Amino acid sequence: MTDYLLQTTWIIPFYGLLGAILTLPWSLGIIRKTGPKPAAYLNILLTAIAFIHGSLIFNLIWTKPTQQLVFPWLTVADLNLTLAIELSPVSVGALELVTGISLLVQIYALGYMEKDWSLARFFGLMGFFEAALGGIALSDSLLLTYGLLELLTLSTYLLVGFWYAQPLVVTAARDAFLTKRVGDIILLMGLVALSAYGAGLNFSQLERWANTSPVEPLTAALIGLSLIAGPTGKCAQFPFNLWLDEAMEGPNPAGIMRNSIVVSAGAYVLVKLQPIFTLSPVSSDTLIVLGIVTAIGTSLMAIAQIDIKRALSHSTSAYLGLVFIAVGLGQVDIAFLLLFVHGIAKALLFMSAGSVILTTSNQNVTEMGGLWSRMPATTTAFVVGGAGLFAFMPMGVFWTFQRWFNGSWDVDWWLLAVVLFVNTLSALNITRLFRLVFLGEPQMKTRRAPEVAWPMAFPMVALTIVALIAPTAPIQWPFWLSPTTPLNLGEESIIQLATPLIALSGFVGIVIGATIKLDKAWARPTQMIWRFFQDLFAYDFYIERLYELTVVAGVAFLAKLTSWFDRYVVDGVVNLVSLATIFSGNALKYNVSGQSQFYILTILLGVSLLLWSVLNGQWSIVTNYWSSLLN
């Protein structure tokens, strides 16, 4: 029975796909009398079955070595393509995180999207979404993973553009799709290059190939950079970080998945590609630089936002920046722990934010206040999620940071400085949002704000309990991903000071966020210096404007140039040939006299001209030959 359950693990992602297919009669309007809710119930049921099935597998695989299920796909000559599934505590645990949060989000969406006319279509897309994410969690095949990443990009586009009648939604969906496509295409180039240099198309083979197959330094650097591009787009890292902010125009339940699981899927792929980055310092240094720039930049962007979802989405990019740094340093266990604790905390924060938005029909935090007494479950969820996001003892991120700097890993002062900066601004941002939304006097849009109904309250309460239990995971983590147990490599001074400084940074952020003056003037300061920095951070350091002046302007100029070349050069040559044909045909028609002598004369003249041109060329060759002999 145990072997049978393990052999059927590959079925779990198909539960979500089956749910998406079963919603089609309601999505297409074939069934109207029952309304769209049966489609939602079917998806929730199948996701619950997937979660239960995954739980059974997780209990079985916990004490077993890593196993693989290999499915032959294509064999032609020397080409042998297989699709491999990995069964390990990490892969099945990631699958459980996907199905568990997806189950809670779908129940949550049942209340949030209750009055939406296309509820069935939304749940169908969520099932498709879940299937792609579950497949990525289990996949050990680079080829299969790339295909699933493409499906993930497609489902992101469809969910962001769910309310397609709104112009901002259409723009956000387009930008998210195109930004991810850039990274995916470069990633595909890297995968093709890996196969060309003899690497197996399975993640489990990469470490052995990296240790036994010497590659030129330039080649290793280029392959590493190309493999970084895909996760950079998926994880909303600089310079592909703008799409996640714009994607907040979509429905909030999809935003919960996007900020907790989707970005983690990109980083999960990055973790499994880590052996390749050891071949060249260029690759690992690039990961570290991208992570530092994104973590610092998006932390500053977050504190200047007045849209609650955008403030939380920038925080997502910041914490994924820390994941990039951990992978660049080769500390993949820390990267995975960060993904785990961040995913739970951020899902809880977005659930709380969605409850506030649905109740108040508003996303501007400067127009809120006084909700703590009216929405106790929502307030508790926000507090627990916020405490789990920054290093507030005894929440999960605190123990993850403590493990990062406890001497097991090779760390330096610059890493501690980055972590302290991100943690301080994260605490400041969460405290600022909490004060504006839940404390203070009720505003016009928050005076009548009852707690949300049970379909939304139940997932929040359940995930709150999970977030309170989750801190035990970093303490018990047995280093599954590292090839060897890390040694005591950290500097002694950092080991002694890191944990107190991290705890102090969170406290400092809370104090600043609790004491800084927050009112409507905060949305537009009167002092020029504060106004400059607020605009700089709120408009994402004007990166979008920079793109318009460089990339967009360059593409537009190239499009105009090619249009001009096609219109005046290509079309001009074609038109010239056609005109010459027309004129020559009109000229020749006047030479049709009907007399055979004239036709014979024309033939003789043509043959004579042809012979003269041929013999003239031959005569010049003979003349040059004899001249060379005489000389």
One-letter amino acid for residue 141 of the chain = S
- Residue 36 tokens, joined: 């769209």
Whole-number average pLDDT of the chain: 83
pLDDT of residue 472: 64
Most confident range (mean pLDDT) of 401-415, 455-469, 518-532 is 455-469
The radius of gyration of the chain's CA atoms, rounded to the nearest angstrom, is 31
Question: Alpha carbon 626 to chain centroid distance?
Answer: 75
Looking at residue 551, the DSSP 8-state letter turns out to be I
Model confidence pLDDT, tens digit, residues 299-334:
999 888 888 888 999 999 999 999 999 998 888 888
Percent of the chain residues topping a pLDDT of 90: 16
pLDDT in tens, 202-226: 888 888 888 887 778 888 888 889 9
Q: Judge whether residue 618 has pLDDT over 70.
A: no
**pTM for this model (two decimals):** 0.86
Whole-number Å distance between alpha carbons of 336 and 605: 86
Count of C-beta atoms within a 10 Å radius of residue 319: 29
Among 301-305, 352-356, 396-400, 461-465, which is the least confidently predicted range? 396-400
Q: Which residue has the tokens 């920095």?
A: 533
Q: What is the pLDDT of residue 631?
A: 57
> What is the band of 425 on the pLDDT scale with cuts at 50, 70, 90?
very high
Find the helix or strand (DSSP H, E) in which 20 lies.
helix 12-22
What six digits make up the tokens of 245? 């902010």
Between CA 21 and CA 19 the distance in angstroms is 5
pLDDT digits (tens, 9 = 90+) for 444-478: 777 787 888 888 899 999 999 888 887 666 555 55
Predicted confidence band of residue 492 (pLDDT cuts 50, 70, 90): low
Residue 12 CB burial class (10 angstroms; 0-12, 13-18, ≥19): buried
CA 482 to chain centre: 24
Name 364's bridge partners: 307
Q: Which of 86-90, 104-108, 227-231, 527-531 has the lowest mean pLDDT?
A: 527-531
Residue 523 pLDDT: 56
Distance CA 264, CA 105 (A): 16
Sequence length of the chain is 631
What ranges do the domains of the chain cover? Answer: 1-140, 185-533, 559-625
Write the pLDDT tens digit of every residue in 28-73.
888 888 888 888 899 999 999 999 998 888 888 877 777 888 887 7
DSSP 473-494: HHHH----SSSS---S-S-HHH
pLDDT at 5: 76
Over residues 549-576, the mean pLDDT reads 86
pLDDT at 205: 82
In angstroms, rounded to a whole number, what is the distance separating the alpha carbons of residues 583 and 567?
22
Measured distance CA(22)–CA(43) in Å, rounded? 8
Residue-level pLDDT at 481? 60
